[in-house]
Structure 1
Amino acid sequence: MDEILFAAKHVLNGYLFFPSDILNSISGLANLGESATPSHTLTAREISVLSYLIKGFKNKEIAQVLFISSKTVSTYKTRIMAKLGVKSVIEMANYVTKNNLL
């Protein structure tokens, strides 16, 4: 019940919520930033944006799905690329694939 209340509060505040069992199954993503750049990790929102980017979604499409502006998506994209040390979405997808993160 505590997890349901926690989730409801976060969703109402505009955040995504993933049940703990799902997060445990994708635990490789939680350390995504650490393996690329020490002391940096990807946030939950950056992970969400990353998953859409490597599936080929455009910034505008991601913005619509996540209810944020396309400029915000662009900012997340820039941050993700910096944290992973890549220069393109293709390199980002290769990084994720190479490290079996999705």
Structure 2
Amino acid sequence: MKKRILLVDDHGIVRSGLRSLIEQEDDLSVTGEAASGMEALQLVRKQEFDIAILDISMPDKNGVDTLRDLQHIRPELAVLILSGYAQEQYALNLIRAGCRGYLSKDSAPEEIIKAIRTICNGRRYLSPELADLLASELTRPSDKRMHETLSEREFQVFYKLASGKSPTEIASELFLSVKTVSTYRARVLEKMNLRTNADLTYYAIKNELIS
């Protein structure tokens, strides 16, 4: 039985290229496409998929939030992040948040197929680069960059603040109180040794977490 794949990317040309690549394989089939995080959530409520291939940067709901929501709706659904951002920027945070693998979009086609098969078989896919990152985290935890010390929820709040969202907007999107968001903000600033939202934005741009 073919593994059912959901493609989630706001660029049609990327989805088309991935579909063409995947449909060459006898054991894999693209059975759904979404151009946004919201579309993806609607689809997984109606259809069964074995794996979702998810971008980070999308218009209405970014991949960080979409990953979290997918896990609430379909905890059994495996997620592979395929992003334009390099692995060292997001991979560790998103692996901790529950994705089964992370690849940059310039990965070789054979590696993308290998990652899909590995994840569909119930395992994590760690590229050599990501394996090195995880090994470094274990052997030299003090070498972590500041955003890598954040919990999953703290990282969500950090990402939204750095992107210019207000505490009220964040509270609405994450179904939290404004007071709780303010508490997370204070924790993020303390952990990252920063003082203002502008500092968070500068840090995110400097580390290529936002563009």
Q: Which bin holds the TM-score, normalised by the shorter protein?
A: 0.5 to 0.7
Structure number having the greater strand percentage? 2
Contact 1:50–1:77, Cα closer than 8 Å, also in 2: yes
Distance in 2 (alpha carbons) for counterparts of 1:100 and 1:35 = 13
Q: CA deviation at 1:56?
A: 1.7
Question: Structure 2: any 5+ residue segments left out of the alignment?
Answer: 1-48, 53-67, 94-142
1:49 is paired with a residue of what secondary structure? helix
Superposition RMSD in Å: 3.4
Contact 1:36–1:83, Cα closer than 8 Å, also in 2: yes
Aligned to 1:96: 204
Greater RCO (Cα-Cα under 8 Å, separation 6 or more): 1
The yes-or-no answer on 1:87 pairing with 2:195 is yes
TM-score (norm 1): 0.67
The residue type paired with residue 20 of structure 1 is L
The yes-or-no answer on 1:65 pairing with 2:173 is yes
Distance in 1 (alpha carbons) for counterparts of 2:79 and 2:152 = 12
Equivalent position to 1:11, from 50, 54, 72? 72
The residue type paired with residue 171 of structure 2 is A
The residue type paired with residue 21 of structure 1 is I
Distance in 2 (alpha carbons) for counterparts of 1:64 and 1:85 = 26
The percentage of counterpart residues that share the same residue type is 30
Aligned to 1:45: 153
CA deviations on 1:40-94 (whole Å, 9 max, x unpaired) are: 7112222211121122211111001111111111111111111211000101111
1:101 is paired with a residue of what secondary structure? coil
The residue type paired with residue 179 of structure 2 is K
Question: Structure 1: any 5+ residue segments left out of the alignment?
Answer: 13-17
Structure number having the greater helix percentage? 1
Q: CA deviation at 1:95?
A: 0.9
1:20 is paired with a residue of what secondary structure? strand
Give the 4+ runs in structure 1 shifted more than 6 A. Answer: 1-4
